Chain A
């Protein structure tokens, strides 16, 4: 266990020393700051039925598409290219420990980035005359629900990115694979709904399982203040699967 924490600390340090992390972080916060502003502007023009936090987290997919590949592409691809991976694996560190340490480091960074977005409502209240709108901007069920969603879904997205990174020696190829994978998970499940049901005579057809995969619907529930065990199971089991596949891919380098 001590070995795992040592590797985790190393990966965490590497992440903070890497320029790619800062580029990803700054782009992420700039973009989300702009989106938050646009959302507030929308609230000044017309009454809206969802809180600013709900609308904000509904746009989670925009930063996810670039931040996850940027954070994870380096993971194993760079080490494979430089031969560091093989060297690390000849030490006492086990593949599963290495995978979990890398995953833990990027996940921590990802959570920190999202946690920084909590500053937006605070800045909006402090910097304007929105004192009266404090309750709306700090609407706890939608704020915590949205954060819980990005925290839980982030597990799956980052594990998928890390798996893609373990498949190639090129960071660029890893990033493209990761982007494609994320697109399939986030948007692909929605496209499945467009297909007419295979067995129209059976009540429900295959709509039930497809709806189970709907990432956007999970978000709507979370940000509305509804917590359901199904998305948890979906994201956690997906994470376990991709971390397992990553471990298998890394172990085959031995």
Chain B
């Protein structure tokens, strides 16, 4: 009897052990399955406009990423309702897609890390310290010693204070391209035609502040004379022609044309209010016309005490986008009108020409500006405002929007009717500095003018009267009422 009880106990223990083992094995199996599933997965975007998918260009670029790139997002989480909640949600979705696409393409060079500024202070401090970043809320794209910081506010397009679109994909792609660029490009300032001096400290015609400003931001800046050269140097990222006084010789003009057209280079030209440079035919080929006269603006608040022109109207161009969004002012000296006229070009179909800056509606382009003669708008003679003050053109090769990454992206030319806004006396203005950076981003293809559209943020509103809303409430109780009736019928039948 006692032995039988012992056997029974042993059998019971055996069964319990067997059950526990089964549970353990099931847990292990499902754990392993989930681990594998979290690493190898598929994702489908069912939305009509594929709102949550990466563009083909981004996919192609991620596949070709040749150097290790780290994306570090240092932001406070704060949970639901926190100011960064939306940004974090958008970034997680976007960078999750980046990571997944890179993995799908077999490219191990991309890593993404989200660091909570408050909960993970040690890591945040270490990352920000290592890269010498002083802004606590930072989004960093790092490759080797190169760093690109993406200001969070630039990730959204806004209109009248409301978010219209998320342009994170283009911003991150631009940063990725920048930090993996094979070698640093040099910004050459042309000389030999009476241009503003690159290292000159002269307040009116000196660019020493600009050269320091650019160098401290990691750009290599050098002066260049085209005389005696067979071509523009290979490492030229962009050419600056600031305030030429005399005509450029035909040979140099040919070199500039070659650089722009055959090598898809970028030329940024800043003219004096008067004088002939011989560049008009080149500008015309790029759909830009330099008008006659000088821009006069008589509207209140359009001039500083020193007589500088205050510009607050911008075109929808990547170079001026941040100025427009932040509501900043650009300080100009005397300026010529510069307008976009694509019909001047022989092949306008491949050109994209846009005007960048405008004077106010009460301005005009004065043709007859002579000492002692009062400035007055003359109908039929002077051009009425707003007058365009700068224009930018970009040549697009035909296969631009096909995702052939080796295809030419086309050259770029920007023309400003004033050179003085780069001079030492005006470069202190925040708007002027931002315009220079915006121009460089565009000229060096760092702008978000990739084939990556911003994702629109939609908003929905329902129009219903109070009475309709009140009437709707009992109607929505209809399904519950039907089920109640079914319950009563069942109860009655059962009884």
* B484 pairs with A22, CB closer than 8 A: yes
- Chain B hits for A37, CB < 8 A: 469, 472-473, 476
* B46 pairs with A116, CB closer than 8 A: no
Nearest-Cβ distance from residue B445 to partner chain A, whole angstroms: 30
* A44 pairs with B23, CB closer than 8 A: no
Chain B interface: which size bin? Answer: 35 or more
- Chain A hits for B26, CB < 8 A: 240-241, 244-245
Segment of B232-240, B391-399, B459-467 engaged in the interface with chain A: B459-467
* A230 pairs with B487, CB closer than 8 A: no
- Chain A hits for B33, CB < 8 A: 233, 237
Known contacts being A26-B480, A33-B480, is A123 close to B475, with CB within 8 Å? Answer: yes
Nearest-Cβ distance from residue B442 to partner chain A, whole angstroms: 30
- Chain B hits for A30, CB < 8 A: 477, 480
- Chain B hits for A245, CB < 8 A: 23, 26
Known contacts being A225-B45, A226-B46, A230-B38, is A194 close to B119, with CB within 8 Å? Answer: yes
Nearest-Cβ distance from residue A46 to partner chain B, whole angstroms: 8
Interface presence of B458 (CB below 8 A): yes
* A26 pairs with B487, CB closer than 8 A: yes
Chain A, 221-254, contact with B by CB distance < 8 Å: what is the 0/1 string? Answer: 0001111111001100110110011001000100
Report Cα–Cα, A133/B468, bound state, in Å: 14
Nearest-Cβ distance from residue A112 to partner chain B, whole angstroms: 10
Report Cα–Cα, A187/B366, bound state, in Å: 70
Interface presence of B490 (CB below 8 A): yes
Interface presence of A25 (CB below 8 A): yes
Report Cα–Cα, A197/B126, bound state, in Å: 15
Interface residues of A in 18-67 (CB under 8 A from B): 19, 22, 25-26, 29-30, 33-34, 36-37, 40-41, 43-44, 46-52
* A129 pairs with B464, CB closer than 8 A: yes
Chain B, 30-48, contact with A by CB distance < 8 Å: what is the 0/1 string? Answer: 1001100110011111111
Number of A-B contacts (CB under 8 A): 173
- Chain B hits for A224, CB < 8 A: 47, 51-52
* B483 pairs with A248, CB closer than 8 A: no
- Chain B hits for A240, CB < 8 A: 26, 30
Interface presence of B471 (CB below 8 A): yes
Tally of chain A residues near chain B (CB < 8 A): 70
* A228 pairs with B41, CB closer than 8 A: yes
* B43 pairs with A29, CB closer than 8 A: no
- Chain B hits for A93, CB < 8 A: none
* B483 pairs with A29, CB closer than 8 A: yes
Q: Which of A34, A40, A237 contacts B30 (CB 8 A)?
A: A237
Chain A, 113-156, contact with B by CB distance < 8 Å: what is the 0/1 string? Answer: 00011011001100111101100100001001100000000000
- Chain B hits for A233, CB < 8 A: 33-34, 37-38, 41
- Chain A hits for B30, CB < 8 A: 237-238, 240-241
* A208 pairs with B122, CB closer than 8 A: no
* B34 pairs with A237, CB closer than 8 A: yes
Q: Could you list 19 further interchain pairs (A-B, Cβ under 8 angstroms) beyond the known A44-B463, A119-B478, A228-B43?
A: A26-B480, A40-B472, A44-B462, A116-B479, A116-B483, A129-B464, A130-B462, A145-B46, A200-B120, A224-B52, A225-B45, A226-B43, A226-B46, A229-B43, A234-B34, A237-B30, A237-B34, A241-B26, A245-B23
Give A residues with C-beta under 8 Å from B. Answer: 16-17, 19, 22, 25-26, 29-30, 33-34, 36-37, 40-41, 43-44, 46-52, 116-117, 119-120, 123-124, 127-130, 132-133, 136, 141, 144-145, 193-194, 196-197, 200-201, 203-205, 207-209, 212, 220, 224-230, 233-234, 237-238, 240-241, 244-245, 248, 252
